[in-house]
């Protein structure tokens, strides 16, 4: 943190230096306030660099194709042009180095199961806090599959449910 004097005021400014060790994040969510909030939170953390954004599936596909340096894609499920889970398996085949962490409002066991069975590296509900999201990012970066605590409880409460298809 740097300290700067301006007249009678002392201001502090956090300096962010991008290093090769920073985790490079892409965010795909159709809600601008969500994307902007995630971007700000991750940048303030100091260990992440947000390298790209997209607001729909078509933009997400182009973003993945054009950004070879993405480590983690934070992906919303419901998009204006469809269900992003329909594309996860293809994206994992094309971009195996990209970890896909689903961040969603869908708190149903069938949706969580589908996200994990189609190849997502993790599932975090949007009701979870910052620390759980950061834990999810770190887990998938280590090669582990991550499911937030609330989603685990949902899965445990409904072990008999099968994967379902969502309609946009």
Of 11-25, 74-88, 148-162, which range is least confident? 11-25
Model confidence at 20, pLDDT cuts 50, 70, 90, reads: low
pTM of the shown model: 0.83
Q: Which residues of 116-146 are buried (b: 16+ CB within 10 A; e: fewer)?
A: bebebbbbbbeebeeebbbbbbebbeeeeeb
Look over the chain and give the mean of its residue pLDDT values, rounded to a whole number: 87
Choice between 144 and 9, residue whose per-residue pLDDT is larger: 144
Supply the DSSP string of 24-48, one letter for each residue. EEEEE-S-HHHHHHHHHHHHHHSSE
Query: Measured between alpha carbons, how far is 23 from 48 in angstroms, rounded to an integer?
Result: 5
Instruction: Give the CA radius of gyration of the chain.
Output: 17
pLDDT, residue 68, reads 83
Whole-angstrom Cα distance, residue 132 to residue 64?
Answer: 25
Is the model's pLDDT at 15 over the cut of 90? no
pLDDT of residue 26: 97
**pLDDT tens-digit readout, 21-68:** 899 999 999 999 999 999 999 999 999 999 999 999 999 999 999 988
């Amino acid at each position: 943190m740097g300290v700067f004097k301006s007249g009678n005021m002392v201001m502090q400014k956090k300096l962010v230096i991008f290093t090769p060790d920073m985790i490079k994040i892409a965010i795909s969510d159709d809600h601008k306030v969500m994307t902007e909030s995630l971007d700000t939170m991750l940048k303030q953390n100091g260990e992440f660099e947000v390298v790209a954004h997209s607001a729909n599936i078509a933009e997400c596909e182009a973003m993945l194709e054009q950004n070879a340096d993405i480590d983690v894609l934070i992906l919303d499920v419901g998009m204006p042009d469809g269900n992003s889970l329909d594309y996860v398996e293809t994206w994992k085949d094309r971009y195996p180095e990209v970890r896909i962490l689903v961040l969603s409002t869908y708190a149903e066991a069938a949706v969580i199961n589908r996200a994990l069975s189609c190849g997502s590296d993790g599932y975090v509900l949007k009701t979870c806090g910052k620390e759980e999201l950061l834990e999810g990012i770190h887990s998938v970066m280590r090669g582990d599959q991550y499911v937030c605590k609330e989603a685990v409880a949902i899965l445990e409460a409904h072990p008999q449910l099968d994967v379902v298809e969502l309609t946009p």
